[in-house]
Amino acid sequence: MLDKLREVELKFEKLNNRLCESDISQNIEEYKSVMKEIKSLTPVVEKYREYKKTEETAKEAKELLDGGGLEPDFRDMVREEYETAAAQLEKCAEELKILLLPGDPNDDKNVIVEIRGGAGGEEASLFAGVLYRMYSMYAESKGWRTEIISSNPTELGGFKEVSFMIEGEGAYSRLKFESGVHRVQRVPETESQGRIQTSTATVAVLPEAEDVDIEINPADLQIDTFRSSGAGGQHINKTESAIRITHLPTGVVVECQDERSQYKNKDKAMKVLRSRLLEAEREKQQSAIAGERKSQVGTGDRSERIRTYNFPQGRVSDHRINLTLYKLDSIVNGNLDEIIDALITADTAEKMKADPEQ
């Protein structure tokens, strides 16, 4: 590990020296790339330098203790300093192991979230609306920007499906574990007998793909326009501003009708298409490495769940990490950090088990 850390520190110093060279200001792309790499390496280098400083403190205290001839009071003080430094050294080493784990290149990206009602009819659509509100409130608490890309609302205030963009630093790193089937247990507004019903909604979290991430041949696209549906008055009824893009090689279809401008709808639809194609490519690569794995969305069937929201008991359970919290009201109001932090911790632990060098 220490050899790897020395290499990282050397690379960090070279990058900083590169920033001091006059010609880099003429190459904006290289400047951005260097700054991005420096930012990613800074936490590792800072922690490594703290490790080296602490190691030196522990070494000096140990030499004093081994040398003997110290006054009792001074010896006690030196021993305490050594024990504190040794404990801090162990803590730094554990933190460095985590920092050295391979990062997800998508972590800093914006995300496209797609929510669809699954099993449960109208109640599933209402639950999809609850999830949309939950993620919107979480994004707001982080200072992130949310924008709907497309939606298919129901008369009772839910969504058959809704896609939206969340823009903010680290959005994907915080939300990527939300992909999967979410299950709700509650007495629905549509149920007159007061019986508890189980319904599901599916969530997909896709990192926003940039033009450089995936290349799309315009000849591979079939673009259709149609009239928007749903509430909105005469404008929506009469104007063909909605866009449907079909990627012919893969059969992926994306629709967007939330904007009045056909151009804006097309721009949003292309963002979703790029992200879906990038995700499909990423899944293909991971399958080649790790073998076949389930789709992140699944079918919406009740059995394929990652989390259950039980309203009568005020309970939220994440089944992947066996975490149960009796804070349902708080969680559906966007306070997701406790769950997300636990998922990140569990993921980090699994990565450390899988990486023999750690």
The CATH number of the domain covering residues in 111-213+294-354: 3.30.70.1660
Domain ranges in the chain?
2-99, 111-213+294-354, 218-290
Question: What is the model's pLDDT at position 294?
Answer: 39
- The overall pTM is greater than 0.75: no
The two tokens of residue 236 are 């929506």
List the chain residues with pLDDT less than 70.
190-193, 210-213, 228-240, 259, 284-304, 354-358
What is the per-residue pLDDT for 355? 63
Check residue 228 and give its pLDDT: 66
The answer to whether the 111-213+294-354 and 218-290 domains have the same CATH topology is no
CATH 3.65.10.10 assigned to domain 218-290? The reply is no
Specify the pLDDT at position 351: 80
